[in-house]
Amino acid sequence: MLTILQLPVLNDNYIYLLHDPLSGETAAVDPALAQPVLDELARRNWQLTYIFNTHHHGDHVGGNLELKARTGCQIIGAEADKHRIPGIDRCVNDQDTVQLGQQTAQVIATPGHTSGHIVYYFAAANALFCGDTLFVMGCGRLFDGTIGQLWQSLQTLQTLPATTRIYCAHEYTQNNGRFALTLEPDNVALQEKMADVATLRARQQATVPSTLAQELATNPFLRTDSKALQTAVGLQGGDSLVVFTRLRALKDVF
Ligand code: ZN
Ligand code: FE
């Protein structure tokens, strides 16, 4: 069993603390800040073994060096980002595996948001830590990756089991959902999802994780084959990548 804690930090970031009870090993995924992680570790009497970084942006690596200095943890990140992930100890590539005690994560390269972005997939735990690649009802915007890369990365993630829990790095859900509703106002799954989201946010609760099944039913960036969506963006029968490109451009200015 993999214990997963979700720490909300900054405006809308989530840090995840992963703990393997059998070995006692603990990992922080994308620690934007060190202190909330140190506080939670102290509260639970856990030792930090690893940091798993998905990409190099400051709101994902900001706590790296302090956590490493304070805990001696090992920092794992993409080979492609080794020059820009602070304190990186181990470089990984697509299809590599990383261990957290008894738990195994598969590394999947998902360039697009950035050129070096990776995600961590724990198949046995049904959990995907996807950073800024896939969000609830949305996806990451482009920095130094390309639209074609982002498209391919999302195609890859869609091949995971539908029950996979999607642990993304930001609480962007409500805004993403509003955009999605402009495209598919008659999508019942989307309407229901947004009602749930409104309830959760009114209580200041997280809307993350979702599941891949929910994303397939509601996330416009995974629904470029939807006739209603294609019509909404004026690209009926359009090539999927062309529709996707249009969606990303529209969301950028939404
Ligand atoms: Zn980012
Ligand atoms: Fe981010």
SS3 at position 208:
coil
pLDDT value at position 99? 98
Q: What residue has token string 């957290």?
A: 100
| pTM metric for this prediction | 0.98
- Measured in Å, residue 143 CA sits from the centre of ligand 1 at 8
Q: Is 56 part of the annotated catalytic residue set? A: no
Residue 131 contacts residue 142 (beta carbons within 8 Å): no
CA dihedral 35, 40, 42, 44 (to 10 degrees): -170
pLDDT value at position 96? 98
Count of C-beta atoms within a 10 Å radius of residue 65? 13
- Measured in Å, residue 231 CA sits from the centre of ligand 2 at 31
Mean pLDDT of the chain: 98
Which H helix or E strand runs over 78? strand 74-78
pLDDT value at position 167? 99
Q: Which residues pair with 226 in a beta bridge?
A: none
Confidence grade of residue 125 (pLDDT, cut at 50, 70, 90) = very high
pLDDT tens digits for 41-91? 999 999 999 999 999 999 999 999 999 999 999 999 999 999 999 999 999
SS3 at position 14:
strand
Count of C-beta atoms within a 10 Å radius of residue 3? 14
Give me the domains of the chain, ranges plus CATH numbers: 3-168 (3.60.15.10), 173-252 (no CATH)
pLDDT tens digits for 12-39? 999 999 999 999 999 999 999 999 999 9
- Measured in Å, residue 63 CA sits from the centre of ligand 1 at 15
Q: Is 132 part of the annotated catalytic residue set? A: yes
Q: Is 117 part of the annotated catalytic residue set? A: no
Over residues 103-129, the mean pLDDT reads: 98
Q: How far apart are CA 248 and CA 97, in angstroms?
A: 31
Q: Is 83 part of the annotated catalytic residue set? A: no
